[in-house]
Amino acid sequence: MLIVFEGIDGTGKSTQVRLLAEALEARGLSVVTSREPTDGPFGKKLRESMIEGRLSPEEELQLFYDDRRDHVEHLILPALEAGKVVILDRYYFSTMAYQGARGFDPAKIREENEGFAPVPDHVFLLEIPVATALERIGVRDGSGNTFEQEGNLKACAGIFDTLEEDWLHRVDASQPPEDVHAAVFALLSPSLQTPSPQA
């Protein structure tokens, strides 16, 4: 099973990845967690650009694709094939939102990604007002990195708002982390029913 947490910066995705991984492991499932940008060479270059200055839109989009291809090939697919539950902190919906906010067509980004990246079984879209997100990430006077500027996060949130799928669940992430986790777990539990033993 492939499970993804998405949302703008400051929604608490990494905490939810950890809480869900712990809960699933406690039920005896084998879980692999990961994040994008990854810690591989393409992901490292992307993280550097967040500190040192943003790359051109084309170069940045290409690096997110390269990073994801690598991630899919070397981590996501092997883990899924081994029967593990894979939980991701960001995936191609972030590319739709963030590179979409930079002018690329989100629908095209989605189509291209679904050409090589498996479609998740569940996406939890963590939602909070942009003002709350900015407070949480400690950005004052628009001094955050350019991914985290107010106007940019509003544009990203607007693209996340357009997503509509049965497997995409919107969760109010302004609640305490334990309550967010409880909401996530309740939404996931129908998929966790273990099949009855074969006669």
Give contact residues for ligand TYD (rule: CB under 6 A). 9, 36-37, 64, 89-90, 94-95, 98-99, 147
Task: Name the residue number minimizing CB distance to ligand TYD.
Answer: 98
CB neighbours (10 Å) of residue 87? 24
Q: How far is the CB of 147 from ligand TYD (least distance, A)?
A: 3
Closest by CA position to 87, among listed 168, 32, 23: 32
Q: How far is the CB of 44 from ligand TYD (least distance, A)?
A: 11
Query: Strand 85-89 to strand 2-6: parallel, antiparallel, or no bridges (unpaired)?
Result: parallel
Q: How far is the CB of 166 from ligand TYD (least distance, A)?
A: 23
Q: How far is the CB of 155 from ligand TYD (least distance, A)?
A: 11
Amino acid 62 reads Q
Task: Indicate the residue among 29 and 77 with the shorter CB distance to ligand TYD.
Answer: 77
For residues 14 and 36, is the Cβ–Cβ distance under 8 A?
no
Task: Indicate the residue among 29 and 32 with the shorter CB distance to ligand TYD.
Answer: 32
Task: Indicate the residue among 50 and 77 with the shorter CB distance to ligand TYD.
Answer: 50
Task: Indicate the residue among 143 and 198 with the shorter CB distance to ligand TYD.
Answer: 143
Task: Indicate the residue among 85 and 98 with the shorter CB distance to ligand TYD.
Answer: 98
Q: How far is the CB of 121 from ligand TYD (least distance, A)?
A: 19
Q: How far is the CB of 178 from ligand TYD (least distance, A)?
A: 21
Task: Indicate the residue among 29 and 54 with the shorter CB distance to ligand TYD.
Answer: 54
For residues 64 and 113, is the Cβ–Cβ distance under 8 A?
no
